[in-house]
Amino acid sequence: MGSGPGRNGISRGLTQLPRRAIEQGTWCAVDDVAKRGDAALLEATARFDRLKLDPSSLRVSAAEIEAAVKACEPATLDALELARDRIETYHRRQLPKDERFTDPLGVELGWRYTAIESAGLYVPGGTAAYPSSVLMNAVPAKVAGVSRLVMVVPSPDGKLNPLVLAAAHLGGVTEIYRVGGAQAVAALAHGTATIAPVAKIVGPGNAYVAAAKRLVFGKVGIDMIAGPSEVLVIADDTGNADWIAADLLAQAEHDASAQSILITDSSRLAADVEKAVEAQLKTLPRAAIASASWADFGAVIMVKNLGDAIPLADAIAAEHVEIMTADPDALAAKIRNAGAVFLGPHTPEAIGDYVGGSNHVLPTARSARFSSGLSVHDFMKRTSILKCGPDQLRALGPAAMTLGKAEGLDAHSRSIGLRLNLS
């Protein structure tokens, strides 16, 4: 339930506390907010964020948001605007189409997509909060047509990152509360007197936030549980060692538990990349984090030929896969499990983090085996449609009645039989 910078700052991963202890603490925190509402939320915020609030000061005011926007560098605001526009353009293409068709029997079938009414966006606090992540979550929700988008962001010691507020403003988020941790997730899921509940909660957070999301799943929808960031680079002898080393370190600097892996069939490149990583680490501001990540989770894997990289890549199922080979498209087509692929030497993953247009919220910890990056689909849902007339019911009814009876569900059969004068 903690939401101070130490816990919520830069880490996208789980802390090292035993998972069960975290889950039990989270249970109490969530339960308390579910039962006592604002009072529990305010007490937890005072305790973990060292911030005394009352219900009227929970919400970040329009004036604060305006002041935050003014406090940002114009160049940064321009870059955020470019990012927003490109994310919006990309995600508009994801809008799903409704379907309606009539089958040979005359049965009308189909489905219809609608936006989720309300969504909550969790944003980690601390100094290294990510305004880009605000856009990556808010823009798809807006494109989907979510009418109420609520943001919660912890404000340890009362501090808020102006860039996060500016990104919210650019993303069209106006309802923002200065709370974080499991208590904020609980408030979004259960609602309090001040914060109306939402239907779905998205966004990354620390281990307490992840545990709280897992706990409220079912009452509300949640997105994936985010783990530490990962990159897998697949390169042949055409690869530029300096560029590859820079990309490996760009992932490693996120978190000491981030993972960067190079798979190559070139022993020359493997050696050069290892040297380049060491050299570049020397001048990196976040060298402590990046070198811990590289030492503990980094790897250079030699393969006989690039074909051998494919089953390895599928087993690793990395969040990000960069392919720097003579024919990157051909190799990418053979990989099944990857959150995102970045093709060719001029597509560093950092472009995708910010301004490529695709979403940077991607499956981590091998979950690319079964899940996808955040998209417009995460903010919409599908209602299926079925329509029979008397003829269609006559054609299909008897088989349905047979199955109803076989399953011991006589009222199912009867609901059809009554209409067909068969019961």
Active site residues: 319-320
Q: What is the dihedral sign for C-alpha 239, 243, 247, 248?
A: positive
Tokens found for residue 176: 């923002």
Rounded Cα gap, residues 355 and 357, in angstroms: 5
Query: For a second copy, which residue of 16, 63, 285, 305 counts as binding (CB under 8 A)?
Result: 285
Please state the closest distance from residue 349 (CB atom) to a second copy, in A. Answer: 7
Q: Enumerate residues 82-121 that contact a second copy by CB under 8 A.
A: 82-83, 86, 89-90, 93, 99, 101, 103, 107-109, 111-112, 114, 116-117
Query: For a second copy, which residue of 67, 217, 295, 327 counts as binding (CB under 8 A)?
Result: 217
Tokens found for residue 391: 């003829």
Which residues are annotated as part of the binding site for Zn(2+)? 251, 254, 353, 412
Q: How many CB atoms lie within 10 A of CB 52?
A: 11
**Alpha helix (H) ranges present in 256-336?**
267-281, 287-297, 309-316, 328-333
Q: Which residue has the tokens 């309300």?
A: 118
Residue of 153, 260, 157, 252 lying closest to 205 (CA atoms): 153
* Between 38 and 88, CB nearer to a second copy: 88
| Interface map 223-242 toward a second copy (x if CB under 8 A) | -xx-x--------------x
Query: For a second copy, which residue of 154, 156, 181, 356 counts as binding (CB under 8 A)?
Result: 356
Q: How many CB atoms lie within 10 A of CB 76?
A: 14
Rounded Cα gap, residues 374 and 359, in angstroms: 6
According to the binding rule CB under 8 A, does residue 326 interact with a second copy? no
Rounded Cα gap, residues 236 and 178, in angstroms: 48
Q: Enumerate residues 6-35 that contact a second copy by CB under 8 A.
A: 10, 20, 27
| Interface map 45-84 toward a second copy (x if CB under 8 A) | ----------------------------x-xx-xxx-xx-
Which residues are annotated as part of the binding site? 122, 183, 206, 229, 251, 254, 320, 353, 407, 412
- In this chain, which stretch among 35-43, 188-196, 243-251, 263-271 interacts with a second copy, using CB under 8 A? 243-251
Please state the closest distance from residue 324 (CB atom) to a second copy, in A. Answer: 11
User: Which amino acid, one-letter code, is at 136?
Assistant: M
Q: Enumerate residues 161-200 that contact a second copy by CB under 8 A.
A: 163, 199-200
* Between 63 and 411, CB nearer to a second copy: 411
Rounded Cα gap, residues 213 and 199, in angstroms: 12
